[in-house]
Amino acid sequence: MPTYNRADLAFERGEGARLWTADGRRFLDFGSGIATSSLGHNHPHLVRAICDQAAKVMHVSNLYRVPEAERLAARHVAASFADSVFFCNSGAEANEGMIKAMRKAMAETGRPERFRIITFEGAFHGRTLAMLAATGNPKYLEGFGPRVDGFDQVPFGNMNAVRDAIGPATAGILIEPVQGEGGVRPAELRFLRELRATCDEFGLLLGLDEVQIGMGRSGKLWAHQWAGIEPDVMSSAKGIGGGFPLGAILAKEHVAKHLKPGTHGTTYGGNPLACAAGNAVLDVILAPGFLDGVDRVARHLWRALVALKDRHPELIEDVRGAGLLLGIKLREPLVNTDAQAAAVAEGLLTVAAGMNVLRLAPPLIITEAEADEAVDLLDRALRRAKAALAPAKAAE
Ligand SMILES: Cc1ncc(COP(=O)(O)O)c(C=O)c1O
């Protein structure tokens, strides 16, 4: 179906942060398949784990125990705020399950009228019907019938608006600690703390969508750790499987215990193959020093991008983001998709985001030398894009 505007590039193989097309063109991958291939390409430990598991058993369904899933869940519980984990296959699915869990917890604790969730402008939570409503972007909702009820959207970072939106039907708040698709906008840590306090004050549940920023991308395993808060429930996907489809809902017991048999499920969720991939990813990310390395290279990249902004003040308005999810907000008339195409011409893959932002989401295994190389390529791409702008301007 014509759902995607695909670039005319077809990759044949990858190695670390590099990708090669069938005709031999080489690219530095600072998109990671939209913040997903967290260990880069052809990571030997991940590849071995998937191949070994595929040769044993791939899928059995949730009619049976799945030891790989039990192990992965126990490890995620040990490493996070959560008491329980539910595995699924994608970010939208994890978010759907998270909202169900929040509503169910309210219903089961004598507050069935509390089903509404406060979300934020600029959010992106996925493409299912309910997550489109949570996302609230009119462009995505148009033509798909009545908007699913139960989501109240307020401006990002505005505590007064949050408090005003809380009513007798409110169950909780859903937020990305760093908005990804919406334009790589981090929530202030103070705002996240205030949301936690407000949820406690009103007896609401705090749900975090860490699909894009989670699993080490911020430099900590979970981005909310920077704020020193804990959610009641959280979604993960993308990097959690390192490129193999895997999603998860992580929750505290007071939420998780209400999703009893028959209330939620999925055929593929947590199958042995996906969980073997998830365990291999965790082996790498939780290895001593790995996340410190992510933080170090991220700070290095940040400094290089700020220097790039200083070299191109007429093209770059702002550098923003957190960890290895960084955004270059461009100044019009330069538009992000043109800058992205110019980067491709220089051999660098990036991803466009909302608000005219060019997004960098490299694999977490990049070196400082690769970060420098990416910024050099961006420098050239910006010069190229600027040169392309000049004749267009002259023709006006
Ligand atoms: C924050 C966030 N939530 C949810 C999703 C949806 O994930 P998926 O595309 O795996 O359904 C995305 C995808 O970009 C995302 O960035």
CATH classification number, 45-285, choose in 3.40.640.10, 3.50.50.60, 3.30.1120.80, 3.40.109.10? 3.40.640.10
Ligand 1 near 156 CB (within 6 A): no
* 276-311: pLDDT as tens digits: 999 999 999 999 999 999 999 999 999 999 999 999
Question: Does ligand 1 come within 6 angstroms of the Cβ of 90?
Answer: yes
Angle in degrees, 0-180, between the axes of helices 336-346 and 368-395, rounded to the nearest 10: 120
Residue 32, pLDDT above cutoff 80: yes
Looking at residues 225-229, what average pLDDT do you find? Answer: 98
237 lines ligand 1 (CB under 6 A): yes
Q: Is the CB of 272 under 6 A from ligand 1?
A: no
CATH class of 11-30+288-395: alpha beta
Q: Ligand 1 centre from 109 Cα, in Å?
A: 30
> From the alpha carbon of 245, which atom of ligand 1 is closest?
10
Convert the pLDDT of each residue in 247-267 to its tens digit. 999 999 999 999 999 999 999
Q: How far is the CA of 124 from the centre of ligand 1 (A)?
A: 7
Tens digit of each residue's pLDDT (9 = 90 or more) over 305-364: 999 999 999 999 999 999 999 999 999 999 999 999 999 999 999 999 999 999 999 999
Ligand 1 contact via 96 beta carbon (within 6 Å): no
For the chain, the structural domain boundaries read: 11-30+288-395, 45-285
Q: What pLDDT sits at residue 149?
A: 98
Whether ligand 1 lies within 6 angstroms of the CB of 180 is answered as: yes
Reported as a single tens digit per residue, the pLDDT across 150-159 is 999 999 999 9
Which residue has a Cα nearest atom 8 of ligand 1?
A: 91
Which of these, 91, 52, 81, 85, lies nearest to 69 by C-alpha position?
A: 85
Model's pTM, two decimal places?
0.98
